[in-house]
Amino acid sequence: MASNNGIPEKDFRFLKITVSEYFDARGLLVMLKVLFKDHVKESKLSGITKTIELLNALESSGAFSYQDLTLLHDAIKLTDEFSLETELKGKIPSFPLVDKQTPFTKFTAYRQKLLKFGHCLASNDVSKIDASCNTPLKNYTDSWAMIRDLEHKQVITPTKMADFIKELGRIDLKAAVSILNEGFTPECQKETEHSTNARPIYNLPESEYLQLLVNVSKRWQEFGKIHMLKVLLCDFNRIGITEIQKEDDVFNLFNLLRGSGKLSPSNIDVIAEAAFLCGVGPIEEIIKKKIPTYQYPASMDEVHKISKYRRNVIEFGFKVEETNLETILKLCGLSHIKETDKWRLILSLELNNKLTPKTKETFVKMLRENGMIAEVDALNTY
């Protein structure tokens, strides 16, 4: 069965063949090796000679499956190969169209900048960098072969990027310097280091995956905090808030995540991060019984699937005074709603567009004018 971001399993093999033929015909395998370096071990990556081998390695690692094509969608956007999307849609009607507006989730900011860097270099630029970095010259065939080699020799790394950018400036490659400077920040370096030491790859069999969801949902149901979970799930715009509001069964809420492509046998991070944020401690034990190597979040710095805005909303839920709930509803023109549960209140505010990323500034101003300073600070935590 396909998810909203997947295809039927029977079409997946044909999709891999189509993608492989597309990139091989254009001689872009080395570019793909640069792109997917964070998803396939170098020892395996270096021996790959065809795109189909790379796709199979990504599938084996759990990063790519018929149920979740997000990696392919992000790759199409990042490489600007939208003609591949057209070809896939023509051959496989079930192939979901790429959403150009959604942010990248499978590639770090650092990796995205390396792709832009590779695309901006002319052959003369590659020759200049070769002369600057190598004695004797390597005579690279293209920018991708150069990036592969310089990453392997650790000339290009997050921690050495400042020195590399300085060298590009010395040889007057202004466009390349601009691209790499735009993405090279302490946050980018931190994100990349997290990716390099990412949670170990796994891909649960379907039966074990479903059993994990059953076990987690049962424990969560016993623990409570279901409305808090609903608030968290509003972070994913592919799930309608009305659908979230009407569900009171945790397993059914997880099914909404599965349908949106945010939860799969190879990616249960949203559940782990949600449990960490909600303080549902027993979930960690359940996950580690199924995936012993799983690295459960230990701090807020290790939460990456849930946006900063959503984390601010959760902080607001923790800090909002119960005595202020009625006042907030009145100020928002929602006095007809009688709500004493802070998380249900937040859901009502979101449903009525009173607290959203677009209206947050107005909402915060209203709180400040009414002396709710702790609530204001909570919404500006991250």
Q: Which amino acid is at 189?
A: Q
Which of 87, 70, 105, 96 is CA-nearest to residue 4?
96
pLDDT, tens only, 78-128: 988 989 999 999 999 999 998 887 788 888 888 889 999 999 999 899 999
Confidence of residue 192 (pLDDT cuts 50, 70, 90): very low
pLDDT tens, 318-375?
898 888 998 999 999 988 887 778 898 898 898 888 998 889 999 999 999 999 999 9
Residue with tokens 């072969």: 145
pLDDT band with cut points at 50, 70 and 90 for residue 186: very low
CB 192 within 8 A of CB 151: no
CATH of 109-196, one of 3.90.1690, 1.10.533, 2.60.120, 1.10.8: 1.10.533
- Asked whether the predicted pLDDT for residue 191 surpasses 80, the reply is no
| Banded model confidence at residue 4, pLDDT cuts 50, 70, 90 | low
Which residues have a Cβ under 8 Å from the Cβ of 276 and sit 6 or more positions away? 284, 296, 297, 303
CA 99 to chain centre: 14
Model pTM score? 0.51
Distance CA 146, CA 150 (A): 6
The 10s digit of each residue's pLDDT in 32-81 is 999 999 888 888 898 999 999 999 999 888 888 898 899 999 999 998 89
Residue % of the chain over a pLDDT of 70:
93
Cα 164 versus chain centre, distance: 27
Count of alpha carbons within 13 Å of 284, Cβ hemisphere only? Answer: 11
For every residue of 182-237, DSSP letters joined together read HH-SHHHHHHHHHHHTPPPP----HHHHHHHHHHHHHHHHHH--HHHHHHHHTT-T
Tokens (6 digits) for 278: 């909600």
- The string of pLDDT tens digits covering residues 248-285 is 899 998 988 887 777 888 889 889 999 988 888 788 88
Domain layout of the chain by residue ranges: 9-91, 109-196, 206-306, 309-379
In this structure, the number of other CB atoms found within 10 A of the CB of residue 98 comes to 20
Q: From residue 148, how far is each of 17, 56, 103, 139, 315 by CA, in Å?
A: 25, 20, 25, 13, 42
Compute the distance between CA of residue 164 and CA of residue 131 in angstroms, rounded to an integer: 14
In eight-state DSSP terms, residue 302 is: G
